[in-house]
Amino acid sequence: MKTDIQIAQEATMLDIRKIAEKIGASEDDIEMYGKSMAKLSDEFIDKLASKENGKLVLVTAINPTPAGEGKTTVTLGLGDALNKMNTNTVVAIREPSLGPCFGIKGGAAGGGYAQAVPMDKLNLHFTGDFHAITSANNLMCAMLDNHMLQGNALRIDPKRVVVKRCLDMNDRALRNITIGLGKRLDGVVREDHFCITVATEVMAILCLAEDLEDLKARLGRIIVAYNYDNEPVTAADLNCVGAMTVLLKDAIRPNLIQSLENNPVFVHGGPFANIAHGCNSVRATKLALKAADYVITEAGFGADLGAEKFLDIKCRMAGIKPDAVVLVATARALKYNGGIPKDELNQENVEALKKGIVNLGKHIENLKKYNVPVVVTINKFVADTDAEVATIKEFVESKGCRFAVSEVWAKGGEGGLELAEQVLAAIEEGSPNFKFLYDDSLSLKEKIETISREIYGADGVEYSPEANNALKKLEDLGFGNVPVCMAKTQYSLSDNQKLLGRPTGFNVNIREVYVSAGAGFVVAIAGQIMTMPGLPKSPAAERIDVLPSGEIVGLF
């Protein structure tokens, strides 16, 4: 069986100018990065501004398991399937982070015969967006430490610096460090921290900004520290916003590549969904809606994280709504939720599947709370039996949802035709009045508790003293009416990754709360969430290499 990278390397790609033509873009509307990648110009975005929006389809999934659900694979395969049906369809997804690529999770280009290409470039440096975000964030941090050294006119309290430096790599040794050691001119000695680039507020801002001016305004609102009077100090106070914007002026422009079947794919931005809001950029999604009749996009991790944040944060801020939601599951993952170990998942076990299917049921119930049509698809593996698929189909239809089997990993767009037909039918039926889970007018605690009870199924919420104090402070500062971005484990509906299936009888524990003032949301951290992941005992990096010919091997 061929690996993902082997399939991608054997692909016949069209010149990116040909792909641009499919969305109405001329050579003057793009900036090429070689023959297979391009950035779309602001002029092209303006050119399409008056066009009517297409239909938006969100792809999400049940809680991820070691078995893998294939959400991005289904997203790309569905896009290819719809194009096979002579629709004008564009896929809009996130950019991969280098950290997981060299760690354990893998990339974000799909898999098998449903991939975005060039897969190797996309999963590595791509068009440099993440490097620009890393540089802009670290410039802000350098300006802050320099300000404290050069007299500290803003009276910044070194013990109350809240912004972190970043690196797009899993490096746990940088989570907690001491900086400024050495001579006086080497800086103010203080404790500092690193997070991974995709967890930064700069990344979230880039993905929510409407244009360059909005980007600049949001960057200026980033709270970098508090002074000795407990007042916030912002990036604008450091006079670094103009320089940060210069570093990001190209990164804010959406990227264009193609699927294995030579259909347009927008890839732009990539905030983590268990830490940040987990969606591709507003600019890319809105541009796709102008450029196509149907847009297939995805949100990170399970529906309790990525989909909730897409619907309650991104849709709220961008003024968009999905016309249908596709919920991806696998028989293997449902059996895993039913208590079967990973090495036994290829064996038929209908009883375990029935036990674990409650996880799927909860996600269906959650999505219906937003009044959107839900299509459930099983990403089919070779070992899946007819009895298992029939059991899932019966369960899904009993919940009032459409059902389809997806075989896009093995068959590309052809394997997604059944799903495409169900999605079109769901859109044709029309969406009831879309609604958010909570109103802006609720207090921050009410928002946290609504998400915890309604989406996770918790009995209640417990707050650390630090979280309680932070919530009061943020409401006093005027941030009470913003959305809440919950940071918790992706592996469970609860904040305990070991609780599989559909946990009950638990409380969500909020240990830390802070505001991303530029992004426009408050982050509530539940449980032990690391903003800087670590590498596993045997990282993927051990198996990645490049041959004398320049061919990359081992990249999935």
pLDDT digits (tens, 9 = 90+) for 239-275: 999 999 999 999 999 999 999 999 999 999 999 888 8
- Number of other CB atoms surrounding residue 26 within 10 Å: 12
pLDDT digits (tens, 9 = 90+) for 278-293: 999 999 999 999 999 9
The answer to whether the beta carbons of residues 439 and 425 sit under 8 Å apart is no
Cα-only R_g, the chain: 23
Token pair, residue 117, equals 């290409």
Single out the residue of 176, 79, 36, 5 nearest to residue 420, CA to CA.
79
The encoded tokens of residue 152 equal 């500290």
Q: Give the relative orientation of helices 465-476 and 444-451 as an angle to the nearest 10 degrees.
A: 130
CA-CA-CA-CA torsion sign (214, 217, 196, 481): negative
Residues with catalytic annotation?
A: 71, 73, 94, 105, 273, 301, 381, 409
C-alpha 312/C-alpha 50 separation (Å) is 26
Where in 203-279 does DSSP place strands (E)?
223-227, 232-234, 255-259, 264-267
Q: Could you tell me the maximum CA-CA distance found in the chain, to the nearest angstrom?
A: 72
pLDDT of residue 407: 96
Helices (H) and strands (E) in the chain, counts: 21, 25
Check residue 456 and give its pLDDT.
97
Give per-10-residue mean pLDDT for the chain (556 aa). 86 97 96 97 95 97 81 96 97 92 76 94 94 98 98 97 96 96 95 96 97 97 97 98 98 98 97 89 97 96 94 97 96 92 90 95 97 95 91 96 96 97 94 90 98 97 97 96 95 94 96 96 91 90 90 84
Strand partners, 521: 516
> Which pair of structure tokens corresponds to residue 107?
């990339």
Model pLDDT, residue 157:
98
Instruction: Kindly report the pTM of this predicted structure.
Output: 0.94
Backbone angles phi, psi at 101, to 5 degrees: -60, -40
